[in-house]
Amino acid sequence: MGHRVAPTTPNLDPNSLARFVDPLPLPIIAQPVDYRPAPDHSGERVPFYRVTMQAIRRKIHRDLPATTLWSYGGSVPGPMFDTRSGQGVLIEWANELPARHFLPIDHSLHGAERDKPEVRAVVHLHGGKTPPEGDGYPEDWYVPGQSRTYYYPNQQEPALLWYHDHAMGINRLNIYAGLLGLYVIRDAVEDALHLPSGKYEVPLVLMDRDLRPDGQLSYPVSPDPERPWVPEAFGEAHLINGKLFPYLDVEARKYRIRILNGANGRFYRLSLSPNLDMHQIGTDQGLLPAPVTMKHLQLAPGERADVVIDFAELRGTNMLLMSEAFTLMQFRVASTPAPEEGNLPATLRPVPRIAESQAILTRRLTLDEQLNMVSESMGMLLNKTPWHMPITEKPKLNSVEIWELVNLTDDVHPIHLHMVRFQILDRRRFDAFEYMTKGNLRFLGPAMAPESNELGWKDTARVNAKTVTRIIVPFVGYPGRYVWHCHILEHEDNEMMRPYEVMTT
Ligand code: C2O
Ligand code: CU
Ligand code: CU
């Protein structure tokens, strides 16, 4: 990508540390502090939570000094919200962060100029069908000492969502600092499937970080101190629920493992060692129609996977969760047999495919790369349009549209739309040079169906290099202003994000 990396003091080599000396931490479950009237005038009283964003120091490995992090509610990841479909919740998000940032702000990025306060935050519930005033619009940031209370109606099917920072121009730094957490929605239909639950349901938040030898976070910078932004940040240290190389004692039975790729830019390609099957039962927006058995699971930043792993065969042994050559964590399987009721259901929850004929509009939207002559770095854009330009995508409420995402770049970009869920129609290679020179879309092969583990509802889709990815999107929910963007946070912070507006007329 033609960017240079500044020589800095070498980061800590995580492989110099002892493995599997810390137990896997499990997120604490958020508890309401009160019940308050829902703002939707239903008169119903709903749980009210209060979460503070605050700096903390936490040991991410037994043999490292405590690391400074920014947390929701005192832990990274933050407390997990355990909610029910159709039952709204109110959350007050209080910004009690320090006045100074500890990661390298690039003031040349739009929205992060020197006249903006250094520390700003706003929370977005990723995957939430949230009214626009509570969606965490990137420009709705607020400073330390302030708070906002957002209403999440939960008028949507069960899924593993996540909340994270979305402040314009510094979102990559705020999330890197630790501002992310999980939010689960459940319902009776899902309960009736009797999937592994309670202590047999384990959430895993994956994220990669670079650490200095003293255990502090290190975020990469360009050689230009005026423009420290880098096009992507990959770390060598993989934190699982905030720990490096943790272990988890498991019984010799099935577990439901719910995984979030919370990394800034890394794509995980997960496998087990020994090479046991994983049964994927759900994706970003809930259950798949049927389990999909796999040995490798690819997860782009922002994507989630709901997976069942049966440890019964591995009684008395240890197993590793890997991503390519990286070791992420260890499962220690008990040697005693663990009785359990029932098998994994053969069917889960129907996901009727949306007919293309339902779409009233097809939008062709490009993913572009352009060389910034000033910084000599590659910038990414959506539809060649920077953030501040007038809104161009204005779908009608309750209409269905097809978005053809034409990736002219050499990278995979995970594209995410706020508020809605969608289905992936297909992917097709095309001649990008011909498109760029003549504006002509010439395909180079047949349309490829989505992977079998993508046949559920999605909110983030991998748009492969030099490929057109088509998604079909029912704009059901709330009218108002939202955003869509690449979920590689470095891209998102540097113009690979656009507003869109759901219209009532
Ligand atoms: Cu994960 Cu704009 O969000
Ligand atoms: Cu989102
Ligand atoms: Cu991108």
pLDDT tens digits, 86-99: 999 999 999 999 99
Burial class of residue 249, CB neighbours in 10 A (0-12, 13-18, 19+): exposed
Does residue 421 line the site of ligand 1, with CB under 6 A? no
Span 96-109, average pLDDT: 97
Does the beta carbon of 418 lie inside 6 Å of ligand 1? yes
d(CA 68, CA 76): 11
Predicted pLDDT at 374: 61
Are 35 and 162 in the same domain? Answer: yes
Alpha carbon dihedral 180, 184, 185, 187, in 10-degree steps, equals: 180
Q: In this structure, are 179 and 214 located in the same domain?
A: no
pLDDT at position 40 over 90: no
Ligand 1 lined by 498 (C-beta under 6 Å) = no
- Residue 392 CB contacts under 8 Å (≥ 6 apart), including other chains: 383, 385, 498
Q: Is 136 in the pocket of ligand 1 (CB under 6 A)?
A: no
416 CA distance to ligand 1 centroid (A)?
Answer: 7
3-state secondary structure of 333: strand
Give the mean pLDDT of 420-438.
97
Counting from 1 in the atom list of ligand 1, the atom nearest the Cα of 460 is: 1
Q: What DSSP string describes 255-295?
A: EEEEEEE--SSPPEEEEEES---EEEEEETTEEEEEEEEES
The average pLDDT across 488-505 equals: 96
Q: 42 lies in a domain?
A: yes
Ligand 2 center from residue 70 Cα (angstroms): 20
Q: What is the pLDDT of residue 172?
A: 98
In SS3 terms, 187-202 reads as: CHHHHCCCCCCHHHEE
With a 6 Å cutoff on the Cβ, whether 166 touches ligand 1 is yes
Classified as helix, coil or strand, 471 is strand
Cβ-proximal residues to 198 (8 Å cutoff; 6+ apart), any chain? none
pLDDT the model gives residue 457: 98
On whether residue 5 sits in a domain, the answer given is no
Nearest ligand to the CA of 304 is 1
Query: If we measure between CA atoms, which residue out of 178, 167, 208, 214 comes closest to residue 75?
Result: 178
How does DSSP classify residue 177?
A: H
Q: Dig out the tokens for 50 from the structure.
A: 């209060």
> Do residues 159 and 127 lie in contact, with contact meaning Cβ atoms separated by under 8 Å?
yes
Would 343 be classed as within a structural domain? Answer: no
Mean pLDDT for the stretch of residues 441-449: 97
Give the pLDDT mean for 100-124. Answer: 97
160 CA distance to ligand 1 middle (Å): 14
Distance from Cα 318 to the centre of ligand 1, integer Å: 35
Partnered with residue 332 across adjacent β-strands are 249, 318
Are 36 and 173 in a shared domain?
yes
Q: What number is the average pLDDT over the span 6-18?
A: 84
Nearest CA-CA partner of 234 in 501, 500, 502, 489: 489
CA distance 339 to 378: 56
349 domain-assigned: no
- 428 Cβ below 6 A of ligand 1: no
Count CB atoms within 10 A of the CB of residue 268: 25
Instruction: Select from 63, 21, 27 the least CA-distant residue to 332.
Output: 21
446, 407: one domain? yes
Distance of alpha carbon 74 from alpha carbon 106, whole angstroms: 27
Residues 314, 386, single domain; the answer is no
- Ligand 1 pocket, residue 485 CB under 6 Å: yes
End-to-end CA distance of the chain: 43
Amino acid at 375: S
User: Which residues form the domain of 410?
Assistant: 356-502
pLDDT for 3: 47
Residues paired with 470 in a beta bridge: 404, 426
Q: Are residues 34 and 93 in the same domain?
A: yes
pLDDT > 70 fraction of the chain, expressed in percent and rounded: 97
Q: Is the per-residue pLDDT at 161 higher than 60?
A: yes
CA of 494 to the centre of ligand 3 (A): 10
Domain match, 266 and 399 both: no
Ligand 3 centre from 314 Cα, in Å? 39
| Ligand 1 binding pocket includes 491 (Cβ within 6 Å) | no
- Give the end of a domain, one of 189, 218, 239: 189
Q: Closest ligand to 171 CA?
A: 1
Report d(CA 98, CA 105) in Å as an integer: 15
The half-sphere exposure of 70 on its side-chain side, counting CA atoms within 13 A, is: 26
Does 460 reside within a domain? yes
Please identify, by atom number, the ligand 1 atom nearest to the C-alpha of residue 302: 1
pLDDT tens for 383-415 read 999 999 999 999 999 999 999 999 999 999 999
Q: What is the CATH number of the domain that holds 433?
A: 2.60.40.420
Are 363 and 327 part of one and the same domain? Answer: no
The total number of structural domains in the chain stands at 3
Q: Which atom of ligand 1 is nearest to the CA of 136?
A: 2
Are residue 161 and residue 248 in the same domain, yes or no?
no
Nearest-CA neighbor of 389 among 110, 137, 123?
A: 110
Q: 61: Cβ below 6 Å to ligand 1?
A: no
- Of 189, 215, 243, the last residue of a domain is 189
13 Cα to the center of ligand 2, angstroms:
33
Q: Which atom of ligand 1 is nearest to the CA of 166?
A: 2
**Residue 470 CB less than 6 A away from ligand 1:** no
Q: Counting ligands in written order, which one lies closest to the CA of residue 485? A: 1
| Amino acid identity, position 467 | T
**Which amino acid is located at 406 in the chain?**
V
Query: Are the C-beta atoms of residues 76 and 124 closer than 8 Å to each other?
Result: no
pLDDT at 341: 72
**Could you tell me the distance, in angstroms and rounded to a whole number, from the CA of residue 289 to the centre of ligand 3?**
29
Nearest residue (by CA) to ligand 1, atom 3, is 126
Q: CA 128 to CA 416: how far, in whole Å? A: 12
Question: Is the C-beta atom of 266 inside 6 A of ligand 1?
Answer: no
Atom of ligand 1 nearest to the CA of 162: 1
Task: Tell me if 159 sits within 8 A of 4, measured CB to CB.
Answer: no
Residue 378 CA: which ligand is closest? 3
Hey, whose CA ends up nearest to atom 1 of ligand 1? 126
- Block residue for tokens 């161009």: 392
Examine the domain organization and report whether 407 and 312 are in the same domain.
no
Quick one: which ligand is closest to 418's CA? Answer: 2
CB of residue 209 inside a 6 A radius of ligand 1: no
- Asked if residue 250 and residue 152 are part of one domain, the reply reads no
pLDDT for the residue numbered 100 = 97
Coil, strand, or helix at residue 61?
Answer: coil
Q: Tally Cβ neighbours within 10 Å of residue 58.
A: 17
Q: Which ligand is nearest to the CA of 490?
A: 3
| pLDDT value at residue 376 | 64
Higher pLDDT, 375 or 30: 30
Q: Tens of pLDDT along 298-332?
A: 999 999 999 999 999 999 999 999 999 999 999 99
Same domain for 325 and 360:
no
pTM for this structure? 0.97
| Confidence category of residue 373, pLDDT binned at 50, 70, 90 | low
Collapsing DSSP to helix, strand or coil, 133 comes out as helix
Tell me if residue 394 falls in helix, strand or coil. Answer: coil
Average pLDDT over residues 426-451: 96
> And the tokens for 44?
């119903």
Confidence of residue 2 (pLDDT cuts 50, 70, 90): very low
Rounded to the nearest integer, the mean pLDDT of the chain is 95
Average pLDDT over residues 132-142: 98
CA of 369 to the centre of ligand 3 (A): 9
Q: What is the pLDDT of residue 1?
A: 41
Residues present in the chain in total: 505
Q: Which ligand is nearest to the CA of 412?
A: 3
- Contact at 8 Å (CB) between 383 and 369? no
Residue 124 beta carbon below 6 angstroms from any ligand 1 atom:
yes
Paired tokens of 231: 């096009």
**Is residue 351 in some structural domain?**
no
Would residue 342 count as lying in a domain? Answer: no
**Does residue 443 fall inside a structural domain?**
yes
